[in-house]
């Protein structure tokens, strides 16, 4: 994997580049949240091929994906993405669990799913994990579904008619889960970024053109104005670019 500092021309780097150093997170004050998103996109802006993101990423993308999860306190995902991608628990190897414990983190970050309708299957593999997932929902959610999911997940009410992203982040931070990794989907990503709640974007740019009529990394209603980001770093391997952008 090659490297280039922001504004630099790049230079060779060892294959075992220290991803922890490149993606290190800043300290987060108690009760506050730092939100990082992670997406992969084709050159023409597609975030999926046949509804799945896996076809866009290679081995280097998977290494970054794992590192970002291991650095996070919690993995945040929308219900649609959790179902489409068949989410399971975060896998953390023993050595990495020890490192997390030494850093004051739980050995394994939980997965937090945002869902207002609670159309989630309590028998899905996500809910059979040793680490109990969280479901962030709203007061208008169906009561029967709420009771059913409460048996397999920690339920957090974060809004009245819909889930309020700011309230969801506050609820996570109050539980000591301040370093939030958002993995999508596009609607959740757009809601966070459009509300000024996204602190950084980690984007893998795959050397592929996949054609029109594809889902992008943001979706939903048009924003009143663009969100400006500053380039933090660029890494490269096999033609893929690994970009880290920070909110200005």
Judged by DSSP in three states, 143 sits in helix
Phi first, then psi: give them for residue 87, nearest 5 degrees.
Answer: -60, 140
Count of Cβ atoms closer than 10 Å to residue 52 Cβ: 12
Return the beta strands (E) in the chain as ranges: 2-5, 34-42, 74-78, 111-114, 134-137, 154-157, 179-182, 200-206, 229-237, 240-247
Of 160, 217, 162, which is closest to residue 193 (Cα–Cα)?
217
Nearest of 160, 215, 214, 218 to residue 189 by alpha carbon: 218
pLDDT on residue 201: 98
Structure tokens at 99: 């490192």
CA–CA separation, 241 vs 244, rounded Å?
A: 10
pLDDT tens for 120-164 read 999 999 998 899 999 999 999 999 999 999 999 999 999 999 999
Rounded CA-CA distance 158/239 in Å is 41
> Which of 3.40.50.10090, 3.40.50.620, 3.40.430.10, 1.10.600.10 would CATH assign to domain 30-43+52-210+228-247?
3.40.430.10
Amino acid 13: pLDDT: 41
d(CA 45, CA 212): 9
Spans in the chain with pLDDT lower than 70 = 3-15
- Please give the model's pTM, rounded to 2 decimal places: 0.93
d(CA 137, CA 144): 13
User: pLDDT value at position 132?
Assistant: 96
């Amino acid at each position: 994997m090659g490297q280039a500092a922001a504004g630099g021309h790049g230079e060779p780097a060892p294959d075992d580049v220290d991803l922890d150093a490149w993606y290190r997170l800043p300290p987060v004050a108690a009760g506050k949240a730092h939100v990082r998103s992670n997406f992969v996109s084709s050159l023409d802006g597609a975030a999926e091929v046949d509804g799945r993101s896996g076809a866009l990423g290679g081995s280097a993308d998977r290494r970054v994906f794992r590192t970002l999860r291991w650095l996070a306190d919690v993995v945040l995902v929308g219900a649609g993405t959790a179902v489409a991608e068949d989410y399971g628990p975060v896998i953390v190897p023993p050595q990495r669990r020890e490192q997390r414990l030494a850093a004051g983190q739980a050995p394994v970050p939980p997965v937090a799913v945002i869902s207002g309708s609670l159309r989630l299957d309590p028998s899905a593999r996500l809910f059979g994990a040793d680490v109990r997932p969280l479901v962030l929902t709203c007061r208008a959610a169906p009561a029967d579904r709420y009771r059913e999911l409460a048996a397999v997940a920690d339920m957090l009410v974060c809004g009245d008619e819909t889930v309020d992203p700011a309230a969801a982040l506050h609820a996570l931070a109050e539980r000591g889960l301040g370093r939030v990794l958002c993995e999508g989907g596009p609607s959740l990503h757009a809601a966070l970024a459009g509300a000024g709640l996204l602190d950084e974007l980690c984007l893998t740019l795959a050397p592929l053109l996949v054609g029109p009529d594809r889902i992008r990394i943001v979706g939903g209603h048009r924003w009143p104005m663009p969100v400006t980001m500053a380039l933090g770093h660029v890494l490269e391997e096999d033609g893929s670019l690994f970009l880290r952008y920070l909110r200005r």
